[in-house]
Amino acid sequence: MKKRYLFPVLLIFLPMLAFGLFSIFDTDAVYSDREKRELTPLPELTAASYADASFMKRFEDYYADTFPLRGGLLAAARRVRSLILLTGLVGGEDVVVLPSARTVAVVPEGGGEAEASEAQELSGILYYGNRLMEIFCESDANLTAYASVLNRLAKAAGRPLYVMLPTPAYTLYAPEGQRAAGTDFAASLDKLKGLLDGPVLLDLDTAMRKAAADDEAIYFRTDHHWTARGAYLAADALARADGLTLPTLGSYASGSRSGFLGSLYNSAAAQSVSSKFDRAPDTVTYYFPQYGYTLDSYASIALDDAERRSLVEPDFAGDSNLYNIFCGGDMPIAHIRSEVGNGRSVFVIRDSYGHALLPFLSDLYEDVYAVDPRYYTADYTLKIGAFCDAHGIDSILVVNYSPMAVGGYWIEFAPYLENLLP
């Protein structure tokens, strides 16, 4: 071998070898702050995991997740892409569809196991107008399943049941041409209204469209949740429907925390567009309830394991998800005792959209029971009728992320609601 070529060859391959060895013997990270997720652990090698190649796939994920200097490499990759794609030079009009890892599922006609949907092609996250939003695509089958379970819940509860379906950010902000045919939230609401027999679908759509048109911040730009301002619009709609009055938003004491990079940012963190949000993250504005209250969070339906919390925790530091300023994050069951003094009570069936809503509900109802059916387990035997009777509930509210209920993305929420039926 000619020596003049040997040295360059060694210079090329020795760093690969050295880095490879280092990657084996260094200490593996287990959590990524930037992505807000557990990193893939070293998979266990078994005959089965080898035969079906799942070991190799998991190992590739593990190796990529724990590669030395990965955080710096990700940031550098974004910078390079921004440079090439001129993303720093163009304004807020660029549109990027980012692939999403979400599972697309639709209940087949006649019920049964959810199956993959054609809507998969429409799944993903859209970047447009300096905002990330999850692409929404409604599904008739999921909508029908959702309506059916709501009807049965209302019947089982024997009380007024209100349904809140926030208009998705995609409907409000995506450019007309980007929205695929068949993605029409207003039509979904009309269909749902026609299918409901008993439950009352609150009109959030009008107020949310107006607020979006007026450029009010009702959704975060980097997160799939609504803001407190968006939740206020929903609470106001409920108050009107249930014969109550909510104080004006201007009368609330408020505060804010900046530096929030939400779930959609996490999904897009490897993409060049995410660098825009590094420079301009979201701000979480919160409003303190006007009446005194206590908030107890329970894991058990016996309500005997109370953990005292606050509806608004401005100094929340549990993790970097600042949406958890509201209520401190998830609670399987919560009970708010408010000093509003009107004797009214509400049972809220909700997902994380309820976090930002509960502070306003405490100004409407003396007793607010909130249950998150995603925490259903075999021991979690809460049934709606018995619970409402036991706690003297006046009204019921169902609120959740709309794509979970009527979108072609998940069918998680309707089965969760089924668990509350007798």
Partner 1 sequence: MVFSSLTFLYLFLPLCLICYFASPTITAKNVTLTVFSLIFYAWGEPLALLVMLFSAAVQYAAGRLLASRIPHTARRCVFLAALCISLGLLAVFKYAGLLVSTVDLLPFCRFPVPEIALPIGISFYTFQCLSYTIDVYRRQTEAQTSFLRFLLFVSLFPQLIAGPILRYTDVASQIEDRCHSAKKIFYGSIRFFCGLLKKCAIANYAGEAADALLNGSSCLGLWLGILLYTFQIYFDFSGYSDMAIGLGKIFGFDYCENFRYPYLSVSVTEFWRRWHISLGSFFRDYVYIPLGGKYHMQVRNILIVWALTGLWHGASWNFLLWGLYYAALLLLEKGFLLRLLEKLPRAVGWCWTMFTVLIGWTIFYFTDIGRCLGALKIMFGGGALTAAGVAAALKTNLLFLVLAALASTPFAAMWIGKGMARLRTSDGEASALELTLGTLYCLASLVLCTMLICGSSYNPFLYFRF
Residues near partner 1, by CB under 8 A: 1-9, 11-13, 15-17, 19-20, 23-24, 50-51, 53, 56, 59-61, 63-64, 67, 70, 73-74, 76-78, 80-81, 84-87, 90, 93-97, 99, 121-122, 128, 175-178, 180-181, 270-271
DSSP 33-63: TTTTEEPPPPPPP-HHHHHTSHHHHHHHHHH
Distance CA 244, CA 246 (A): 7
Distance CA 411, CA 404 (A): 6
Of 59 and 387, nearer to partner 1 (C-beta) is: 59
**In which element (H, E) is residue 79 found?**
helix 70-85
**Minimum gap (Å) between residue 107 Cβ and partner 1:** 22
Burial of residue 183, with CB atoms counted within 10 A of its CB: 0-12 exposed, 13-18 middle, 19 or more buried: buried
Of 180 and 253, nearer to partner 1 (C-beta) is: 180
Supply φ then ψ for residue 158, to 5 degrees.
Answer: 65, 25
**Minimum gap (Å) between residue 40 Cβ and partner 1:** 10
Of 42 and 386, nearer to partner 1 (C-beta) is: 42
Token code pair at residue 48: 């089965």
Amino acid type, 176: E
Of 65 and 412, nearer to partner 1 (C-beta) is: 65
Q: For 94, left (φ over 0), alpha (ψ -120 to 50), or beta?
A: beta
Helices (H), 183-273: 185-195, 205-213, 228-241, 263-267
Q: CA Rg, the chain, in Å?
A: 24
**Minimum gap (Å) between residue 19 Cβ and partner 1:** 6
Supply φ then ψ for residue 331, to 5 degrees.
Answer: -140, 125
**Minimum gap (Å) between residue 275 Cβ and partner 1:** 11
Of 132 and 399, nearer to partner 1 (C-beta) is: 132
Of 47 and 302, nearer to partner 1 (C-beta) is: 47
Token code pair at residue 298: 């329970």
Distance CA 383, CA 397 (A): 15
**Minimum gap (Å) between residue 3 Cβ and partner 1:** 8
150, 196 Cβ separation under 8 angstroms: yes
**Minimum gap (Å) between residue 262 Cβ and partner 1:** 19
Of 75 and 241, nearer to partner 1 (C-beta) is: 75
Of 67 and 380, nearer to partner 1 (C-beta) is: 67
**Minimum gap (Å) between residue 65 Cβ and partner 1:** 9
**Minimum gap (Å) between residue 76 Cβ and partner 1:** 5
